Amino acid sequence: MAASAVYILDMKGKVIIARNYRGDVPMSVVDHFARHVQESEEVDMKPIVVMDVATFLYIKTNNLYIMATTQRNANAAVVLLFLYRLVDVLASYFKEVEEESIRDNFVITYELMDEMMDFGYPQISEAKILREYITQEAHKLEAQRPPMAVTNAVSWRSEGIKHRKNEIFLDVVEKLNLLVSANGTVLRSEILGSLQMRSYLSGMPELKLGLNDKLLMESSGRRTGKGRAVEMEDIKFHQCVRLARFENDRTISFIPPDGEFELMSYRLNTQVKPLIWIEAMVEPHSHSRIEYMIKAKSQFKQRSTANNVEITIPVPPDADTPTFKASVGTAKYAPERDAIVWTIKQFHGGKEYLMRAHFGLPSITHGEDGGAARVEKPPVSVKFEIPYFTVSGIQVRYLKIIEKSGYQALPWVRYITQNGDYQLRMS
């Protein structure tokens, strides 16, 4: 990577704090970056600025620029990732990373910058580990020794962790982004998934996780039984996962951090039919009123149930005197959103419900006369959560826990499907 220096600057490009790691780039080159900031429009600013004197890589957070310089062929993605991690660590100490908090805590900021990078190479970037020996009281620093995790290969986990009850929770959470045209054609369909873990395990456990991954199934000649293999794209892992092992045999092997973390995320660009289908019939009556008939149908299996379903139907901004009649749930007018919000606490699979709404329209702009401008209707949006269900069909085939003391641990696995950007256009 070889970053020469890291700066924390105000919005005018003036230095608040700077740390020179290599000494191969004059610290005065920051003046060129300050001039660039002052002369450029914000929309034209790019995260990498190449000049003759040096290359500047930076991110912006609140009223600060966090910037690194280099004259080498550095890995730009790694440099930018380090800057984001620096902001995350500072936020864990100061809550808000802004000019005032940096000036009030410059001693701790220097300590963190020294520990997180050495000679331009990233070192410790886990706030939990740094907190074990960099405290808010600077005078305590000399009396404390670095935890084992700093010198150990497992920098994200301390040694000697003990839990009275050894448990691990794995939530497979999938969000469905969907856009459906007025004639029922699916225009966009995308699944964004993540494996969220909460680990309460003693010692230094080794975990192995198996999924019904398509490449694994094909390479091993296994069958998935009633289910199907899933072809995941854009897989991103937590740093604890052994990437070489995954590339070799698709095994997800790792020593987990203690507590909550995201083990991995993935994307599936696949055609999915709407889990909750909405049909909206709008009937305007000349100049005076407008009626809505909304049909909601669940298109998932009967044994599943969607919880806390919220259907938002846009209405004209001048609508008033609302009346509602719903076969299930409650419908309310939300004037601040110019919308009807129909809430159904439990929406069982294979069910169909109706809701009717009536509004007065005092304005003549929504009449049926030819002179009125045609207003583009915003789409209907839907929120929901379906437990024990994944739209992609992903399955955890096994979750093995191995620890040298030989204790028995309980793994708990849940599946949850939620709405992402879920919209259906009205006719």
Residue 165 has pLDDT above 90, yes or no: yes
Burial of 97 (0-12, 13-18, 19+ CB in 10 A): buried
CA distance 373 to 28: 60
Q: What is the DSSP string of 112-144?
A: HHHHHEETTEE----HHHHTTT--S-GGGGGGP
DSSP state of 86: H
Residue 149 structure tokens:
């995790």
Sheet architecture: strand order including 352-360: 276-285, 289-298, 352-360, 320-326
Helical H segments across 8-153, by residue range:
30-39, 76-94, 99-104, 106-116, 127-130, 148-151
Element at 249 (helix H, strand E)? helix 243-249
Residue 409 CB-half CA count within 13 A: 26
To which residue do tokens 């000036």 refer? 103
Q: Residue 224's pLDDT is what?
A: 46
CA distance 163 to 286: 69
* Contact between residue 226 and residue 212 where contact means Cβ atoms under 8 Å apart: no
User: 175 φ, ψ to 5°?
Assistant: -110, 135
Start-to-end C-alpha separation, the chain = 54
To which residue do tokens 């990373």 refer? 97
Q: Average of pLDDT values for 38-59?
A: 89
* Contact between residue 391 and residue 417 where contact means Cβ atoms under 8 Å apart: yes
Lowest mean pLDDT among 39-43, 121-125, 347-351: 39-43
For residue 5, give the nearest of 82, 62, 85 by alpha carbon.
82
Q: 142 pLDDT band (50/70/90 cuts)?
A: very low
Amino acid letter, residue 226: K
**What rounded mean pLDDT belongs to the chain?**
87
Per-residue pLDDT tens for 332-363? 999 999 999 999 999 999 999 999 999 998 76
Per-residue pLDDT tens for 360-400? 987 655 444 443 444 457 899 999 999 999 999 999 999 99
Task: Give 130's contacts (C-beta < 8 A, 6+ positions apart).
Answer: 89, 112, 115, 116, 124
Per-residue pLDDT tens for 180-217? 998 889 999 999 999 999 999 999 999 999 998 877 66
Task: Give 354's contacts (C-beta < 8 A, 6+ positions apart).
Answer: 293, 294, 295, 296, 326, 327
Residue 151 has pLDDT above 60, yes or no: no
Return the bridge partners of 191, or none: 176, 268
Residue 152 has pLDDT above 60, yes or no: no
Higher pLDDT, 13 or 155: 13
Map out the domains of the chain with their CATH numbers. 5-151 (3.30.450.60), 167-272+391-424 (2.60.40.1170), 276-387 (2.60.40.1170)
Q: Average of pLDDT values for 102-109?
A: 90
327 by DSSP, 3-state: which?
A: coil
Tell me the C-alpha to C-alpha distance, in Å, between residue 268 and each of 189, 192, 272, 420: 9, 7, 10, 13
